[in-house]
Amino acid sequence: MSNKIKDLGESIMKNYKEVGFKDFTETEERAIDYIPKNCEHLVIEVPTQYRLIYLIAFIMGQPSPFKVIVFVSNCETVNFFHDVFGKLAWPEGFKSRPVFKLHGDMDLADRKTNFSQFDKVNSGALVCTDVAARGLDFKSVNWVVNYDLPDFGKDYANRVGRTARIANEGAALSFLNPGLELKYKDFLKKEGIFAKELSRFNIMSEFE
């Protein structure tokens, strides 16, 4: 936030709060300790308008069994992605990778059903909001994808904690918007998380 905006806020508001991606507080430092040590952290720079294409290419390029949780920022995006994935002409073999959704606007019964079904499959994708970031233990999740970045450090820790559980290996991939979210890498480094950069060209070559 620029000084001009801060000054404007102070002049017209009292006790206002800044909202955005924050450093870990003392409480959140304990949360990051729960990130599995055997989780690999990666970032990829992709312009916003191409992210969905690269997400689909990434999912299609992974060998089976493959189980991924994709975190997005809101319920509408969850529904949209679920519909898009359901209408895609997936290559042979991808019919065994069903796509599920989970968000707070769903009926409780539907949430329980989707949770149970995703938990049981060997390969599949779950598109969700942060409603799935805490308190849910899914079996054998290979990847967590932050399609939309979390707002706070504790949310990153909770999301990533869905993979690499019980001594299993796992990985977390975060999509970054070039020029706008690149300092996110510095944030992770500051917190002791050294994320490797994944080339979007490699994703497309694996997909082909």
- Judge if the upstream peptide bond of residue 91 is cis by omega within 30 degrees of 0: no
* pLDDT per position as a tens digit, 109-166: 999 999 999 999 999 999 999 999 988 889 899 999 999 998 877 888 889 989 988 7
In a domain, 92, yes or no: yes
Identify whether 23 is part of a domain: no
Q: How many domains in the chain?
A: 1
Per-residue pLDDT tens listing for the chain (208 residues): 444 445 444 544 555 454 444 554 544 555 567 788 889 999 999 998 999 999 988 888 888 888 999 999 999 999 999 999 888 877 676 666 889 999 999 999 999 999 999 999 999 999 999 999 988 889 899 999 999 998 877 888 889 989 988 778 899 999 998 876 778 888 888 777 888 988 877 776 655 5
Residue 82 is assigned to a structural domain of this protein = yes
* CA within 13 Å, CB half, 47: 2
Q: Is residue 28 part of a domain?
A: no
Q: What is the CATH number of the domain that holds 98?
A: 3.40.50.300
Global pTM?
0.82
In a domain, 102, yes or no: yes
Listing DSSP states for 32-61 in one string gives HTTS-TTEEEEEEE--GGGHHHHHHHHHHT
Cβ neighbours, 10 Å, residue 201:
8
**Domain limits at 100?**
38-207
Residue 66 belongs to a domain: yes
Tell me, yes or no, whether 10 lies in a domain: no
Is 9 inside any structural domain? Answer: no
